[in-house]
Amino acid sequence: MIIVPEKEIAALVGRADSFAAVEGVFASMSSGSAYNFPVIREAIGHADALYGFKSGFDRAGLDLGLKSGGYWPGNAAKGLTNHQSTVFLFDADTGKCKAVVGGNLLTALRTAAAAAVSVAHLARPDASVLGIIGAGHQATFQLRAVAEQRNFTKIVAWNRTPEKLASLANVAKEIGLPFESVSLDALGAQSDVIITIVSSQSAILKNADVRPGTHIACMGTDTKGKQEVEAALVARASVFTDEVAQSISIGECQHAINDGTLLQSDIHELGHVINKTHPGRTSKDEVTLFDGTGVGLQDLAVASAAVKLAIKNGVAQEIEF
């Protein structure tokens, strides 16, 4: 069995590896060769922790396994990350455990890669201003990954606590793009691509603030009750997602589905656009929206890439198991 410790991931798995893994597995899901198993999520009644599993099987890449993990709110005080995750991969022919891979950084990389894949396939080719809503742990990963997808000339951003935007401003400086902290309506008025990556229970971005032709990737809503944008914006947009079942139950689409302004049949898998079985954006004025709910297969895909890279670079730890 191979072990790839968390501390090795940063040097092994880059944004391009993550993009390729996530794009590939979205394509496999839509061609019917990969599927996610039902998600388990439990409040365990200890340490205020939420714990669960996301799992699945990709017959094309023979990736079988699960991501185990969750949220321990007291961890920061212990010098640890509140979100903790580990990926387990199994041999699809024998069921033997094949690898254990640190999943914390991989989660941020695969989430940012999903937004980046949506921008690559759905944003207008001439998109030039990138708007980011949110400045938490995931936000800088989102900025780095999405900024590579178009010739952006400016980054604008909003966060509930604007002083936290310093982390995004630093990344913008590093990648050589001007950065501005703006109001939400100013963000909507300028942006060609908008990433929302907040943990909110009510809509932050208003339909009226978004101009025609914008691509929006809603990446923060991954639980029943969370919401980042007005349901009317979802109803107005051409909607794409990683997995329809998650989109309507725990994703951004749950609200427009619940109020009857969006039908399940209006939501398309991004994988179909990748596979060219759906045309994706068909006009420059169309608003496109990607509901990135986060699926287990994304975790397996990036973990599998990490194992291959660890073996290639001689840092995989092998043990008899």
Q: Which of 307, 246, 269, 296 is nearest to 117 (CA)?
A: 269
Return the number of the residue (85 or 316) whose C-beta is nearest ligand NAD. 85
Query: Which of the following is catalytic: 7, 54, 67, 96?
Result: 67
Q: Which of 42, 64, 16, 40 is nearest to 299 (CA)?
A: 64
- The CB-of-220 to ligand NAD minimum distance in angstroms stands at 4
Return the number of the residue (136 or 213) whose C-beta is nearest ligand NAD. 136
What phi and psi, each to the nearest 5 degrees, are found at residue 100? -125, 125
Return the number of the residue (161 or 265) whose C-beta is nearest ligand NAD. 161
* Binding site residues, ligand NAD, CB under 6 A: 107, 111, 134-139, 159-161, 197-200, 204, 219-220, 222, 226, 292-294
Q: Greatest CA span in the chain, whole angstroms?
A: 59
Burial of 157 (0-12, 13-18, 19+ CB in 10 A): buried
> What is the DSSP secondary-structure string of 78-97?
GTS-SEEEEEEEE-TTT--E
Burial of 161 (0-12, 13-18, 19+ CB in 10 A): exposed
Tokens 């290639």 label which residue?
Answer: 312
- The CB-of-7 to ligand NAD minimum distance in angstroms stands at 20
Q: Is 78 a catalytic residue?
A: no
Q: Which residue is nearest to ligand NAD (CB)?
A: 136
| 290-313: burial string, b at 16+ Cβ within 10 Å, e else | bbbbbbbbbbbbbbbbbbbbbeee
- The CB-of-52 to ligand NAD minimum distance in angstroms stands at 12
Strand pairing report for 83-90 and 179-181: unpaired
- The CB-of-182 to ligand NAD minimum distance in angstroms stands at 15
Return the number of the residue (34 or 197) whose C-beta is nearest ligand NAD. 197
The DSSP 8-state label assigned to residue 240 in this structure reads: E
- The CB-of-110 to ligand NAD minimum distance in angstroms stands at 7
- The CB-of-104 to ligand NAD minimum distance in angstroms stands at 11
Return the number of the residue (2 or 231) whose C-beta is nearest ligand NAD. 231
Q: Which of 244, 290, 313, 293 is nearest to 117 (CA)?
A: 290
What phi and psi, each to the nearest 5 degrees, are found at residue 75? -65, -40
The two structure tokens encoding residue 69: 């993990």
Return the number of the residue (56 or 294) whose C-beta is nearest ligand NAD. 294
Q: Which of 1, 13, 3, 18 is nearest to 86 (CA)?
A: 3
- The CB-of-242 to ligand NAD minimum distance in angstroms stands at 8
Return the bridge partners of 52, or none: 41, 69
Return the number of the residue (160 or 211) whose C-beta is nearest ligand NAD. 160
Supply the residues annotated as catalytic: 67
